[in-house]
Amino acid sequence: MDSLKRTIKFGEPIIGEEEIQDVIKVLQSGWLTHGPKTEEFEKVFSEYIGTKYAVAVSSCTAALHLSLMALGVGTGDEVIVPAQTHVATAHSAEFVGAKPVFADVDIASGTITAETIKAKLTKNTKVVNVVHFAGQPCEMDEIRNLCESKGLFIVEDCAHSLGSVYKGKKTGNIGNTGCYSFYPIKQITTCEGGMLTTNDQRIAMLASKQRGFGIDKAVQERKIAGYYDVPYLGYNYRMTEVEAVIGIIQMKKLPAMNNSRIENAKYLTSLIKNIPGISYTEESNEIVNTHFFFQLKLEKEYPTSRNDLAKKFTEQGIGTSIYYATPLHLMTYYRQKYGYKKGDLVNAELIADTTIALPIGPRVLKEDLELMSQIISENSK
């Protein structure tokens, strides 16, 4: 096998001279947080997603928390969460005193479905928190119909899916709120950072106050400096101007960066389509998947174990990861608190044991994808 002359990281931020120059300008401006750059980033972001409002925050975790607060979720309420997700999706329910209830996921896509949600509904269910896993949009028509018929809110966790489209609408513009992460390896980065999108003016107003201690007036809105009231409970979940200015530049680059993810996934799929014993999500006319990573599933017939395959990638200088090696119902905190055990959510557990996440971002070249395909092929015999 021809080795690469370089190593490929699983995920890598793409920061250019433009971001660096604009960060310097912000640092020199003296206005470091909660200012005009944050407002500009929100405007650019809401226009891109197609929602009326976008509220910039310090992380996706903050956006998830603020969403549940704005939807009035609290003690006694249940929030349905897929078992295959980042722990932040579930923790946000705990933050407001609600109970996260884990639902199983579709084995092929890793996403929560109307069927798996139905199995977990109780009279206390208030919210369904969907996760567009690895960039693959959930089947939102079915989920929305179910939620509408039961009077449930939908929070979309879009931490993996910035730019993904479901039936002509961007993810994050389908439920009551959309929550994004700008962690360094996501489709765009602001170092740390997040965004809450919504079409609901009340949610946008509450989120924008509650991200800043629940204060009624931003500094620039106060007639006399120092005078303000606090009508709400709130946190310090603000985005800095440095993060916002990076976000503005990153949004300009996003369409090209996402195209490269989509093209890379198409090319890899074309290379591996005849290899036996593997599966992955298929292209469809109804969705666009911007592929946070390429999720490869090893079926029973594949003779190499997932962990051995990961080692083969490492030997060839290619970084991989696992999303997620432990489903949330089996994480110590949740297992102990709610008494889950292995076997409770079988698809989520199978995904944890048999999938590998491959790099697919803009820095990955055709020759890298060809080597990935070679590794998958040689280990299939």
Ligand X SMILES: Cc1ncc(COP(=O)(O)O)c(C=O)c1O
State which of positions 36-65 bind ligand X (CB under 6 A): 59-61
Least separation in angstroms between CB 53 and ligand X? 19
Figure out which of the listed residues 65, 86, 261, 306 binds ligand X, where binding follows CB under 6 A: 86
Least separation in angstroms between CB 94 and ligand X? 14
Compute the distance between CA of residue 178 and CA of residue 158 in angstroms, rounded to an integer: 6
Please confirm, yes or no, whether 186 is among the known catalytic residues.
yes
Q: Which amino acid is at 211?
A: R
Residue with tokens 């960039």: 135
Figure out which of the listed residues 126, 160, 211, 329 binds ligand X, where binding follows CB under 6 A: 160
Least separation in angstroms between CB 188 and ligand X? 12
With binding defined as CB under 6 A, does residue 181 bind ligand X? Answer: yes
Active-site choice (99, 126, 170, 186): 186
Q: Which amino acid is at 288?
A: V
Exposure of 63 in the CB half-sphere (CA atoms within 13 A): 29
Least separation in angstroms between CB 177 and ligand X? 13
Give the residue with the Cβ less far from ligand X, 70 or 278. 70
Cis peptide preceding 280, ω within 30 of 0: no
> Residues 28-55, buried b or exposed e (16+ Cβ, 10 A)?
eeeeebbbebbebbbebbbebbebebbb
State which of positions 89-108 bind ligand X (CB under 6 A): 89
Q: How many residues make contact with ligand X (CB under 6 A)?
A: 14
Compute the distance between CA of residue 14 and CA of residue 380 in angstroms, rounded to an integer: 33
Give the residue with the Cβ less far from ligand X, 160 or 261. 160
Options 83-91, 94-102, 120-128, 168-176: segment touching ligand X (CB under 6 A) = 83-91
Contact status, residue 172 vs residue 178, Cβ threshold 8 Å: yes
> Residues 5-18, buried b or exposed e (16+ Cβ, 10 A)?
eeebebbbbebeee
Figure out which of the listed residues 48, 183, 302, 334 binds ligand X, where binding follows CB under 6 A: 183
Give the residue with the Cβ less far from ligand X, 181 or 347. 181
Give the residue with the Cβ less far from ligand X, 88 or 254. 88
Q: Going residue by residue from 194 to 213, which x/- string records binding to ligand X, judged by CB under 6 A?
A: x-------------------
Q: Which amino acid is at 160?
A: H
Give the residue with the Cβ less far from ligand X, 46 or 85. 85
- 175: which DSSP letter? S
Residue with tokens 């599933």: 297
Give the residue with the Cβ less far from ligand X, 241 or 243. 243
Q: Which amino acid is at 27?
A: L
234 to each of 50, 201, 229, 237, how far by Cα in Å?
A: 27, 18, 12, 9
Residues with active-site annotation? 186
Per CB under 6 A, residues contacting ligand X are 59-61, 85-86, 88-89, 131, 157, 159-160, 181, 183, 194
